[in-house]
Structure 1
Amino acid sequence: MSQDNKPFNEAIDHMNKVEGNVANLAKADLNKLPKPLKYFGYFMAGFFSIAILLIIILKLFS
């Protein structure tokens, strides 16, 4: 284990292992997510973006 990935203490190391946290987020490859999860994320981001724009436009006209 390199110095950068060394846990703060044993309790934090155990918690990270139990929760499945990535030791170094720079090494996490987000392109390996399942396709349905990716599409759901794209849908949610698009939905909220369009909803915010519609709310702003409707507030301007009322």
Structure 2
Amino acid sequence: MKKGLLPSKVCVVCGRPFNWRKRWARCWEEVKYCSQRCRRSGARGVAMTSANSAVASSGTK
């Protein structure tokens, strides 16, 4: 199969596009992250971002 024809997604952490891999054949619908690094920092990154925005919005009022 040609690489250009493979399905792709966008990483929820870094926003970069990534392509289907054979190891994800069974769980492609569940794949959210492009790498282990993004998977590890995903939960903390979202929590930190929402916590920072809450502090920033409460500080500006």
The normalised TM-score by structure 1 is 0.45
Greater C-alpha radius of gyration: 1
Of structures 1 and 2, the one with the larger relative CO (CA 8 A, separation 6+) is 2
The two structures have a TM-score, normalised by structure 2, of 0.45
Which structure is higher in strand share? 2
